[in-house]
Amino acid sequence: MKYSKFPKVLCYDDWFDLFDVINNKEFKGIPFRTDIFYYPETEEMKEKRVSILDSLKKYKKEIIEIEEKMVQYLQLDIIREPSIYIAVLKDTRNPEHENITAKTFWPLVGGGKKEIRIYIGRVSDYPHIKRSTLSSSDEIKNKAVLMMKKHLTENYELGRLPLHPRPLPSGVLKRNENE
């Protein structure tokens, strides 16, 4: 497992929602019920919170620009040295075969992550490695890291890796607004 000193990416929406939860009575779509989550706030605290919200609104464009740059930096760090997770999965088309896959998580603006999974090979391609130690095998890990680096680099250079999460289908938004 790779150790990184990289701090958590600044996320405008999270910070705004955090300081606005008392006004909206909702945080990330979850109702903020004062009877359950009682949060006493002095007048001075309220003034400071409102001041924070005003600053967040005032500098929204700049904060989002910083967030995007932080995510891009983190993405380049992942391309340089991806953290990978190895799994052995049954082939859905042919259950007799087991495939070795590797995945990593690609950071997105807004705090989300996209799972990127690649195919490494079949279990039968590695008869010299015990089935129980496949996911911890250095040979498999090294091959997976090299393949993931190649995959991420190629797709990054072609602009195929996202910076922002995909928008929800409009039908989902309309359904949620009517509830």
- Rounded to the nearest 5 degrees, what angle is found at the Cα of 163, between the Cα atoms of 25 and 158? 165
Least confident of 19-33, 124-138, 158-172: 19-33
Residue 88 lies in a domain: yes
Residue 173 lies in a domain: yes
**Predicted confidence band at 96 (pLDDT cuts at 50, 70, 90)?**
confident
The more confidently predicted of residues 13 and 144 is 144
- Please give the residue range of the domain that contains residue 97: 12-178
Q: For residue 85, which of 109, 60, 102, 67 has the smallest C-alpha distance?
A: 102
- Chain-wide mean pLDDT for the chain? 86
- Rounded to the nearest 5 degrees, what angle is found at the Cα of 161, between the Cα atoms of 141 and 66? 105
Average pLDDT over residues 46-74: 95
Residue 4 lies in a domain: no
pLDDT at 133 over 50: yes
Please state the pTM of the whole predicted model.
0.79
Residue 6 lies in a domain: no
Residue 79 lies in a domain: yes
pLDDT at 171 over 60: no
pLDDT at 179 over 50: no
Average pLDDT over residues 32-58: 85
